[in-house]
Amino acid sequence: MKHQQISETDIIELARQNRFKDTIPESVRASEDSRQLYLEHKALFETITEQTQLAPEGDIWQRIELKREVAQHKRKNRRIMWGLSAIAASLLMVVGLQWNAMTEATNLQNQIQANILQSQHLEKVLLSNQSNVTVSFATQANISQELLEIDEALQKAYLNNESQQQILKLWESRVRILLESLTQEEEQSDLVTI
């Protein structure tokens, strides 16, 4: 029986594949050189395998633990950031509402102030016209009574901290009465001149 010559590469591959087997393949037994080369490489592959299959590095568990802690820390930071974002959004909403309320209050305050100034101006005009125009005593008394009632309502509104809108309505009523009074005086003045 004639044995076929096996290449060195094939012998090395057989040694790698059979590194855990105790038997020597038939194709390698035919030649002492092949057998010797096979046994050397088989021993070499066994040593390499043993060396690489030792327990993992001692610090691998430390690295695993570190990665786990980093992941937990990131999750915790993410939760904190979401919480802070929610707080910031709430704060912005409150500030926005306060700003809107302040702007509205300032607008109402400006309207009230404009009505006060207009009321004062109309009273001065009426006082200066009274010497020139003869208005019936009943008309003057009626206007005076209405203004007195509104002034009392304004005083109560300020004392009772009524809403700015309520105070604005009272001032607008006062200005309306003064404008109507001025209009009546002008109409009577036109009648007297005719």
Task: Name, in order, each residue with C-beta under 8 angstroms of 20's C-beta and a sequence gap of 6 or more.
Answer: 46, 49
Question: Measuring CA to CA, which residue among 139, 125, 119 is closest to residue 184?
Answer: 139
Question: Measuring CA to CA, which residue among 16, 45, 171, 182 is closest to residue 108?
Answer: 171
The predicted model scores a pTM of 0.45
pLDDT per residue, tens digit, the chain (194 aa), is 445 567 778 777 777 776 667 777 777 777 788 888 878 887 887 777 777 665 556 667 778 888 888 888 888 888 888 888 888 888 888 887 777 777 777 888 888 899 989 888 888 887 776 655 555 566 677 778 888 999 999 999 999 999 989 999 999 999 998 888 888 777 766 555 55
Torsion on CA atoms 89, 92, 93, 98, rounded to nearest 10? 160
Q: What is the residue-wise DSSP string for 17-79?
A: HTTT-SSPPHHHHT-HHHHHHHHHHHHHHHHHHHHHTSPPPTTHHHHHHHHHHHHHHHHHHHH
